[in-house]
Structure 1
Amino acid sequence: MSRVRLLGVCTAMAVGVTAIPAAAASASAPAHTSAKPVITLSGSTSVAPLASLLIRGYLKQYPGRVKFKLAQGGSDVGVADVAKGRVSIGMSSRDAKSSDPGGLFFNKVSKDALCVVTNPGNPIANLSQEQVKAIFSGSVRDWSDVTGSSITGTIDVVVRTAASGTQDAFQKIFLGSSSVLGAASQKASNGLVQQAVQTNKNAIGYVSFDFAGGTNAVAYKGTACDLRNAKSGAYGGTRNFWFVTRGRPATGNAIQKFISWAQNSKRAQAIVGKHWVPLV
């Protein structure tokens, strides 16, 4: 699957990150012979904004220690890339699956709130789990049948593609055994779901909290989807963010140093705490 929503070149250069072109990402190996190590990352469009900020913080604290290259494409892409040795770290917004290749190690870096979102022109205040299931499965198809809706008309359901960790998390947390409506519009990134909901009054979707801006984030089971509730554990729609590696990173190598810093340093946890849930 092709990569999507690569970091812009100017942004990438500003933080010392090179955006990996789609064709080159698969050819990038994690091992390099140059004096300065290069850490390559690919995968989740949810984790990528956090990874970019962590890279910025790491390079500020340890200038010249290492170079980074970052691509996206979805959690399944990141997991597959790291399993095949194409990248150093696969970014994943879903937990490990029994179907994942063997030998992978999932390093938790944060938790994230997953928000159900509607257009600001349809500011629904709250949805129960049964309502979410009914809407996203297609058993309820008109906004006139949804309590709290300020509009009528066909509900335009927006979901993520199968390679998405966000889709996997949404299925497990919100839908359970219910299936997503087959006619739902599928988007390849959080940003595209955000844009679709922002521009369509009849739309409903779900995004990482970091992408909820410009939408109406709907409370779930009576609890607002916000950072405070995610940090306290009150909000039920949280999931883990992972840096996936081939085996546990060897102590002292560049990958292990970066991941350990991301998990444990005060500077990293301050970065995480701005839009996500820190580990400590």
Structure 2
Amino acid sequence: MTRRTRRLGVCVLATVALTASGAAAAQAATVITMSGSTSVAPLAALLAKQYVKTHKNVKFKLAQGGSDVGVADVAAGRVTIGNSSRDPKATDPGGIFFNKVAKDAICIVTNSKNTVGDLSQQTIQGIFSGKIASWSDVPGASASGPINLVVRTAASGTQDAFQKIFMGDAKVASSASQKASNGLVQQSVQSDPNAVGYVSLDFINGTHVASYKGVACNLRNAKSGEYGGVRNFWMVTRGRATGATSSFISWVQNSSAAQKIVGLHWVPLK
């Protein structure tokens, strides 16, 4: 499997429609619609593609937009599943249910020409709050000049998790360039020698990945629990899932086939 699914555009519809042949079968198929997290989207696409191989009467439609969009969409009944890479909030709409499906590492990334070594939480907070504004003030940085911050928008689950895990009470500088997807952060960091951002582990290709508190951000360390920047992936439903949606989520959570897919780039539940 490759990283091709990460390029799904924000709010661009992608359809997995491997159903039984014939017009009658297509009409009878159950359609599970999903929107939300750009971090969860690559995993959701892989899972859906595998699921339809053995469930010919189901097809999927997948859109993105950010975790908050997915939560709002499912609460309003616009989609069957809202994909979220952030934990439940007290401000979330009532009547929705968070189904945990995997875990994921958030990595701090710089341009490949700026091989920053280990970053402490204090240094990360200083950089992203704007208190540390020059790479000359960052130990181990090979770049010089101003630090260009690349972050996610407020609707992002990755932003929410980054704030909780890395920033605590410190606030991200208002001067930071906000991007609507992991892929856009990745591209910005790849093209700017002075940039720094944070992305889901599946989006580190072409960047330099800094270690955090002495631990490298990689799949092995995320699975072992050594890496501290790990968050949950959720599939959110309107109430507890029923019917075909319940069967799909149960398959994701419990089947060895699904958890094997999760284990490719993410942290399985089991």
In the other structure, the counterpart of 1:43 is: 36
In the other structure, the counterpart of 2:190 is: 198
Alpha-carbon distance between aligned partners in 2 of 1:161 and 1:112, rounded to the nearest angstrom: 19
CA apart distance, 1:244: 0.1
Q: 1:276 aligns with which of 261, 266, 270?
A: 266
Deviations 1:215-255 (A, max 9, x none): 011100000000000000000000000000011113xx100
In the other structure, the counterpart of 1:5 is: 10
Q: Check conservation: 2:39, 2:85, Cα contact below 8 A.
A: yes
2:76 corresponds to 1:84 = yes
Q: 2:157 aligns with which of 155, 159, 165?
A: 165
TM-score using structure 2 length: 0.92
Deviations 1:3-33 (A, max 9, x none): 9535686xx45x649xxxxxxxxxxxxxxxx
Alpha-carbon distance between aligned partners in 2 of 1:232 and 1:67, rounded to the nearest angstrom: 34
Q: 2:62 aligns with which of 46, 65, 70?
A: 70
Equivalent positions of 1:169-184 (< 5 A) are: 169-184=161-176
Q: Check conservation: 2:125, 2:167, Cα contact below 8 A.
A: yes
Alpha-carbon distance between aligned partners in 2 of 1:55 and 1:243, rounded to the nearest angstrom: 13
Equivalent positions of 1:228-247 (< 5 A) are: 228-247=220-239
In the other structure, the counterpart of 2:240 is: 248
Structure 1 alignment gaps of length 5 or more: 18-33
Q: Check conservation: 2:13, 2:63, Cα contact below 8 A.
A: no
Q: 1:261 aligns with which of 224, 242, 251?
A: 251
In the other structure, the counterpart of 1:25 is: none
One-letter amino acid of the structure 1 residue matched with residue 262 of structure 2: V
Deviations 1:143-166 (A, max 9, x none): 000000112100000000000000
Structure 2 alignment gaps of length 5 or more: 1-7, 20-26
Alpha-carbon distance between aligned partners in 1 of 2:179 and 2:11, rounded to the nearest angstrom: 15
Q: Check conservation: 2:32, 2:81, Cα contact below 8 A.
A: yes
Shift >4 Å, 4+ stretches: 6-9
One-letter amino acid of the structure 2 residue matched with residue 113 of structure 1: A
In the other structure, the counterpart of 1:28 is: none
In the other structure, the counterpart of 2:130 is: 138
Deviations 1:56-106 (A, max 9, x none): 1101222x2211111000000000000000000000000000000001100
One-letter amino acid of the structure 1 residue matched with residue 138 of structure 2: V
Alpha-carbon distance between aligned partners in 2 of 1:135 and 1:218, rounded to the nearest angstrom: 13
Alpha-carbon distance between aligned partners in 2 of 1:6 and 1:68, rounded to the nearest angstrom: 15
One-letter amino acid of the structure 2 residue matched with residue 187 of structure 1: K
Q: 1:166 to 1:51 in 2, by over 3 A?
A: same
Equivalent positions of 1:215-230 (< 5 A) are: 215-230=207-222
Q: Check conservation: 1:4, 1:188, Cα contact below 8 A.
A: no
2:114 corresponds to 1:122 = yes
Equivalent positions of 1:24-63 (< 5 A) are: 35-62=28-55
Instruction: Give percent identity, aligned residues only.
Output: 64
One-letter amino acid of the structure 1 residue matched with residue 94 of structure 2: G
2:134 corresponds to 1:148 = no
Matched residue count: 257
One-letter amino acid of the structure 2 residue matched with residue 120 of structure 1: S
Q: Check conservation: 1:105, 1:246, Cα contact below 8 A.
A: yes
Q: Check conservation: 2:107, 2:210, Cα contact below 8 A.
A: yes
TM-score using structure 1 length: 0.89
What secondary structure, in the 3-state scheme, does the structure 1 residue paired with 2:78 have? coil
Alpha-carbon distance between aligned partners in 2 of 1:113 and 1:213, rounded to the nearest angstrom: 14
